[in-house]
């Protein structure tokens, strides 16, 4: 930069010399040079870019290094360390231990070998929303990995003492849980804000992963399909629809071959009936999915509008 400035000054002096006078004195040339140099040196410095202002174009970008310069190995190590700070072991947790009673005894033929992740251990010092907030990073990890690892479901456990007293209390808790998860949806869909929850076509989703939601609670009796098999806690089971495809489950149908089960769906329905826990089979497959998330506690009762 200094060399360039010197060359420019020299050119200017030569221009002045041949333009103004051939007999220019050395003293005048010296004074002229000092003037030009002073203009350059004493000029007002350029304004600094304040990094804390909202107009800062460098915000969020590393100074002096590009993300392209960071090796894949370093990125992987950073991701692992961050993940370890905000997640937990979803296979060895209280939710999985407590849910085992349902998983091992239900009539669903897929349940026993299902690969399930669970929510973090319940903290009585936190609100319901606080406990759910803690497990959402692991739920997001589950959504990304379920098609790769063949995962089948994510189970959220709630304290039965506080939320499993009756259908109304449980229904409000389920709404709060799903609303909390929905509000943290990275895809920004926030499906629980949809005013059409009670209509056909609505489905619970998180990070663009659509899920079938099933719930279990201690107040359901042994002749109910949502019986908790003695567990004193409540459970919300999130099953990605991709899981059904992985098990090659046939499409839903209102038709059931009760005498000679032909399909997996037939076998499941017959199994629940034979165990004394039959569930309602509608005469159509076009009905609001929300109606099956929290079922009424008495057979034949009207649908429980938990979402209101």
Is the Cβ–Cβ distance between 195 and 154 less than 8 Å? no
What is the DSSP pairing of strand 116-118 with strand 153-158? parallel
Is the Cβ–Cβ distance between 191 and 185 less than 8 Å? yes
Distances (CA, A) of 69 to 66, 72, 218: 5, 9, 55
Given this model, what pLDDT does residue 20 score?
55
In a domain, 184, yes or no: yes
In a domain, 106, yes or no: yes
Given this model, what pLDDT does residue 275 score?
97
Same domain, 123 and 249: yes
Same domain, 116 and 33: no
In terms of residue numbers, what domain contains 11? 2-19+28-38
Same domain, 199 and 257: yes
List per-residue pLDDT tens for the chain, 308 residues long. 666 666 576 666 666 666 655 455 666 666 666 666 666 655 555 545 444 444 554 455 555 556 667 788 888 888 888 887 888 999 999 999 999 999 999 999 999 999 999 999 999 999 999 999 999 999 999 999 999 999 999 999 999 999 999 999 999 999 999 999 999 999 999 999 999 999 999 999 999 999 999 999 999 999 999 999 999 999 999 999 988 877 777 788 999 999 999 998 999 999 999 999 999 898 898 899 999 999 999 977 999 999 99
Same domain, 8 and 111: no
In a domain, 69, yes or no: no
Is the Cβ–Cβ distance between 206 and 182 less than 8 Å? yes
In a domain, 306, yes or no: no
In a domain, 141, yes or no: yes
Same domain, 278 and 134: yes
In a domain, 70, yes or no: no
In a domain, 68, yes or no: no
Given this model, what pLDDT does residue 29 score?
62
Quick count: other Cβ atoms within 10 Å of Cβ 231? 19
Same domain, 271 and 207: yes
Same domain, 33 and 91: no
Number of independent structural domains in the chain: 2
Given this model, what pLDDT does residue 53 score?
45
Q: Which residues does residue 118 pair with via DSSP β-bridges, in sequence order?
A: 155
Is the Cβ–Cβ distance between 158 and 183 less than 8 Å? no
Given this model, what pLDDT does residue 76 score?
82
Same domain, 137 and 13: no
**CB crowding 132-168: b at 16 or more within 10 Å, else e:** bbbbbbbbbbbbeebeeeebbbbbbbbbbeebbeebe
Is the Cβ–Cβ distance between 143 and 240 less than 8 Å? yes
Same domain, 157 and 284: yes
Cα(74)–Cα(150) distance, rounded to whole angstroms?
28
In a domain, 60, yes or no: no
Same domain, 170 and 271: yes
Same domain, 33 and 89: no
* Contact partners, residue 138, CB within 8 Å, separation at least 6: 87, 88, 90, 117, 119, 120
Cα(273)–Cα(72) distance, rounded to whole angstroms?
54
Same domain, 32 and 87: no
């Amino acid at each position: 930069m200094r060399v360039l400035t010197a060359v420019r000054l020299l050119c200017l002096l030569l221009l002045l010399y041949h333009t103004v006078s051939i007999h220019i004195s050395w003293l005048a040339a010296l004074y002229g040079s000092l003037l030009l140099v002073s203009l350059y040196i004493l000029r007002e410095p350029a304004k600094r870019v304040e990094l804390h202002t909202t107009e800062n174009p460098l915000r969020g970008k590393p100074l002096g290094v590009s993300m392209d310069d960071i090796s894949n190995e370093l990125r992987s190590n950073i991701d692992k360390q961050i993940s370890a700070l905000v997640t937990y072991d979803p296979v060895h947790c209280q939710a999985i231990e407590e849910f085992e009673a349902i998983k091992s005894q239900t009539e669903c033929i897929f349940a026993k070998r299902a690969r399930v992740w669970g929510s973090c251990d319940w903290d009585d010092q936190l609100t319901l929303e606080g406990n759910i907030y803690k497990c959402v990073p692991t739920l997001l990890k589950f959504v990304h990995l379920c098609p790769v690892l063949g995962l089948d479901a994510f189970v959220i456990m709630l304290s039965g003492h506080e939320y499993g007293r009756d259908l109304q209390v449980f229904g409000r808790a389920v709404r709060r849980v799903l609303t909390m998860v929905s509000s943290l949806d990275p895809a920004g869909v926030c499906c629980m804000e949809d005013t059409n929850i009670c209509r056909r076509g609505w489905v619970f989703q998180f990070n663009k992963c659509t899920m079938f939601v099933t719930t279990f609670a201690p107040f359901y009796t042994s002749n109910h399909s949502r019986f908790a098999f003695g567990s004193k806690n409540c459970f919300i089971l999130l099953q990605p629809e991709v899981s059904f495809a992985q098990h090659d489950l046939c499409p839903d149908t209102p038709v059931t071959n009760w005498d000679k089960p032909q399909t997996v769906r037939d076998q499941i329905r017959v199994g629940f009936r034979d165990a004394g826990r039959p569930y309602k089979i509608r005469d159509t497959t076009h009905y609001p999915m929300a109606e099956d998330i929290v079922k009424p506690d008495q057979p034949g009762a009207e649908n429980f509008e938990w979402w209101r």
